[in-house]
Chains A and B, each alone.
Chain A
Amino acid sequence: MKRIKGKKRELNINRRTFLKGAAAGLAGAMLPLNKADASFWEAFFQKHFREMNDAEKKKVIQRLEREYEQKYKKEIKVGNESAIPGVLFGYGLDLSRCIGCRRCVYACVEENNQSKDPQIHWITVLRFKKGEKWVDLEESEKYYNPSQVPEPGYFYMPVQCQQCENPPCVRACPTQATWKEPDGIVVVDYNWCIGCRYCMAACPYGARRFNWTEPNRKPEEINPKTHYLGNRPRYKGVVEKCTFCIQRTRNGKYPACVEACPVGARKFGNLLDPNSEIRYAIEHKRVFRLKEDLNTNPKFYYFFAYGV
């Protein structure tokens, strides 16, 4: 057992060597000449975000803000708030109250600058028949469209990134462009993501989305309050997903989906704070997590507050 582990580590290509090699190859062969301005090279040789000091981060952020301003003709603030010490974020969803209205889906799109066309949604609401063997996600319907919800005989389950403590997507990434932050949020660095989509294949919850084309959103629709690891404008060929609204929650605010939910089915807070609403849910309700047998250990808890 030990030997195998050791062997594996040896085989792991060191990330920097991997990238240096790749960069050298690419730089010679594939660079379009018109792109070879200073900003492009700065971006190309950008260090890994977690290895940068504050001054380096500041420089990168200034460059991004400049680029976004040129591209969208408006000021976009790229924040860089780090995790609050003593905080581990957790999320709760009361399935006995969710009515499947999709207010959360579109509040998320607005807050987090998802592409409108092609359409990217970070939240998918699944509909199940009551009483069926519903834990089978394959049996669900996501295109339901009645004139009114809730419909008798059905219940609804929104799914988004489950913020696993043990995230398979992170392990699958060959460039360490996605990782788990100290407050438990799994983030993506869109400037490091090479678009290989291994993380998407590795995610058991189908929670990651890929930008097949340049994301398409009117400049006036762009939410200018962003975070480097969250809702800043993305590029063609990168993967994105829910970050618990990192740009809001690291400033003490609730995620946009929590605020948008008309029935109050969405709960959020600090798992390390015994007085938080998420701890109340975990301690007083029978909570469960999706695909618990996979040991991904999600920090996204589902429960039925009262009888179905």
Chain B
Amino acid sequence: MEKYKKTGLIVLAGVFLLFLLQSSFAESAEQDVPKHFLVPPPPFSPGIFPCSQCHQGMPVNRKPRKLEQMHQDIVLKHMPGGWCFDCHNPDNRDKLRLANGKSVSFEESYNLCGQCHGTILREWKAGLHGKRTGMWNGEKQYRLCVHCHWPHEPRFKPIKPLPPPVRPSDIK
């Protein structure tokens, strides 16, 4: 009797969990429409992708260090105390990896950034942060976060302004 009660409870709990899962799925599906955003190709340096061309079979070195044989230009100035594998997938270098272990492609790097910059990701989806091009009343292309922010040093880089207008006094 006691045993039946227990299994009954477990089944009930299971059903309840399933229900919860389902409704949360429904919710997230509703929030995330469109689920996949049309984006331009990720701005990789020429020739560097796929990463597996070198990393396939290469031992993974998880030790935070200054890289000397390769990627010397990458010095992290972002998320103090962080390291490559907070974002890159050690088991498949052609992918990124979320904190929950889930792999995401470079076309979806915004989901990686959104783990820590949730508000900005929400505004990016709404078209407020970042940039959308295409049709204001139709299909839009989204710039990835990394098109504007180099992930390893994300502060937007200053650029040269185009010339100021001609001063009336300069007109001949």
Residues of A within 8 A of B (CB): 84, 87, 94, 99-103, 105-106, 118-119, 121, 124, 142-150, 249, 252-254, 258-259, 261-264, 267-270, 273, 276-277, 280-281, 284-285, 305
Q: Judge whether B159 is part of the interface by a CB distance below 8 angstroms.
A: yes
**Closest beta carbon of chain A to B89's beta carbon, Å:** 28
Instruction: Let me know if A267 and B159 touch, CB within 8 A.
Output: no
* Interface size class of chain B, counting residues whose CB lies under 8 Å from the partner chain: 20 to 34
A–B complex contacts, Cβ < 8 Å, 12 sampled: A99-B156, A99-B159, A100-B161, A102-B162, A249-B136, A253-B136, A258-B133, A259-B133, A264-B143, A267-B127, A273-B137, A284-B128
Q: Judge whether B80 is part of the interface by a CB distance below 8 angstroms.
A: no
Instruction: Let me know if A254 and B165 touch, CB within 8 A.
Output: no
Chain B residues in 8 Å Cβ range of A284: 123, 126, 128
| Contact residue among A144, A262, A305 (Cβ-Cβ distance under 8 Å from B164) | A144
Instruction: Let me know if A264 and B129 touch, CB within 8 A.
Output: yes
Task: Return the chain B residue nearest A147 by Cβ.
Answer: B160
The complex places the Cα of A228 from the Cα of B163 at a distance, in Å, of 30
Q: Judge whether B54 is part of the interface by a CB distance below 8 angstroms.
A: no
Supplied contacts A142-B164, A254-B135, A270-B136, 10 more A-B pairs, CB within 8 Å:
A101-B159, A101-B160, A101-B162, A102-B161, A106-B162, A145-B164, A149-B158, A253-B136, A258-B133, A277-B128
Instruction: Let me know if A252 and B136 touch, CB within 8 A.
Output: yes
**Closest beta carbon of chain A to B163's beta carbon, Å:** 7
Identify which of residues 149-172 in chain B touch chain A, using a CB-to-CB cut-off of 8 Å: 156, 158-167, 171
Instruction: Let me know if B127 and A149 touch, CB within 8 A.
Output: no
Tell me what chain B mostly uses at the interface: helix, strand, loop, or mixed.
loop
Chain B residues in 8 Å Cβ range of A281: 128
Q: Judge whether B130 is part of the interface by a CB distance below 8 angstroms.
A: yes
Chain B residues in 8 Å Cβ range of A84: 137
The complex places the Cα of A277 from the Cα of B131 at a distance, in Å, of 11
Instruction: Let me know if A252 and B137 touch, CB within 8 A.
Output: yes
Contact with A along B124-146 (1 / 0, CB 8 A): 00111111111111100001000
Instruction: Let me know if B159 and A262 touch, CB within 8 A.
Output: yes
Task: Return the chain A residue nearest B143 by Cβ.
Answer: A264
The complex places the Cα of A264 from the Cα of B132 at a distance, in Å, of 8
Q: Judge whether B51 is part of the interface by a CB distance below 8 angstroms.
A: no
Q: How many A-B residue pairs have CB under 8 A?
A: 98
Chain B residues in 8 Å Cβ range of A118: 171
Task: Return the chain A residue nearest B158 by Cβ.
Answer: A148
Q: Judge whether B148 is part of the interface by a CB distance below 8 angstroms.
A: yes
Chain B residues in 8 Å Cβ range of A142: 164-165
Chain A residues in 8 Å Cβ range of B129: 264, 305
Contacts A119-B166, A124-B165, A142-B165 known; A277 to B126 CB distance under 8 Å? yes
Instruction: Let me know if B143 and A254 touch, CB within 8 A.
Output: no
Chain B residues in 8 Å Cβ range of A147: 160
| Contact residue among B131, B137, B160, B171 (Cβ-Cβ distance under 8 Å from A148) | B160
Instruction: Let me know if B162 and A276 touch, CB within 8 A.
Output: no
The complex places the Cα of A102 from the Cα of B128 at a distance, in Å, of 20
Task: Return the chain A residue nearest B142 by Cβ.
Answer: A264
The complex places the Cα of A180 from the Cα of B82 at a distance, in Å, of 55
**Closest beta carbon of chain A to B69's beta carbon, Å:** 33
**Closest beta carbon of chain B to A101's beta carbon, Å:** 5
Instruction: Let me know if A119 and B136 touch, CB within 8 A.
Output: no
Task: Return the chain A residue nearest B134 by Cβ.
Answer: A254
Instruction: Let me know if A268 and B136 touch, CB within 8 A.
Output: yes
Instruction: Let me know if A253 and B135 touch, CB within 8 A.
Output: yes
| Contact residue among B138, B143, B159, B171 (Cβ-Cβ distance under 8 Å from A149) | B159
The complex places the Cα of A102 from the Cα of B161 at a distance, in Å, of 6
Chain A residues in 8 Å Cβ range of B171: 118
Task: Return the chain A residue nearest B119 by Cβ.
Answer: A306
The complex places the Cα of A148 from the Cα of B156 at a distance, in Å, of 12
Instruction: Let me know if B159 and A148 touch, CB within 8 A.
Output: yes
Contacts A144-B164, A145-B164, A277-B127 known; A264 to B148 CB distance under 8 Å? yes
**Closest beta carbon of chain B to A160's beta carbon, Å:** 13
Chain A residues in 8 Å Cβ range of B137: 84, 87, 252, 269-270, 273
Chain B residues in 8 Å Cβ range of A99: 156, 158-159
The complex places the Cα of A266 from the Cα of B45 at a distance, in Å, of 28
The complex places the Cα of A121 from the Cα of B165 at a distance, in Å, of 8
